[in-house]
Amino acid sequence: MEDYQTGEETAFVVDEVSTIVKEAVEGAIGENSYQQSRVKQWTNNVVEQCLSQLNKLGKPFKYIVTCIIMQKNGAGLQTACSCFWDNTTDGSCTVRWENKSMYCIVSVFGLAI
């Protein structure tokens, strides 16, 4: 039985993923201002859109997508992540997006099966 997977297919490609994420964020939030009542729906939309697009890539990966939407209020936020994985095949990508009233930070972690 021959292994038909080439090396290129089983690597985490940051550019592809970041494009997907940016489109998802623009589509879900786009021009809107921060609204308390809609924020839950927005985070759900962003994350679901990202995941469905990532799934369509058809790569043998498990994905974790995290989205933080924060109102612009002059407050500070620090985020760090520490990962125990296989450096050759796994990777992560973080996209920061902002408009006049809010920040949106989306992190995607891809782990090869």
Partner 1 sequence: MSDLAKEKVARLLKKRGSVSSLGSHDVRNKNLLLKNKDSISTVSYMDDPGHHDDVSRPAVQMENTYQLGPKKRFPVQTVKEILKDVLSSYLLEVKYEAELCRQMTKTISEVVKARVKDMMIPRYKIIVVISIGQLTGQNMHVGSRCLWDATSDTFCSNSFKNSSLFAIANVYAVYFE
**Binding stretches for partner 1 (CB under 8 A):** 3, 7, 10, 14, 18, 22, 25-26, 30-31, 34, 36, 39-40, 42-44, 46-48, 50-51, 54-55, 62-100, 107, 109, 111, 113
Least CB distance to partner 1 at residue 56 (A): 11
Least distance from partner 1 to the Cβ atom of residue 24, Å: 11
Backbone angles phi and psi of 107, in degrees to 5: -115, 135
**Residue 16 CB neighbour total at 10 angstroms:** 14
- Residue 11 beta carbon to partner 1: minimum distance, rounded to whole angstroms: 8
Does residue 34 contact residue 72 with C-beta atoms inside 8 Å? Answer: yes
Distance CA 51, CA 36 (A): 24
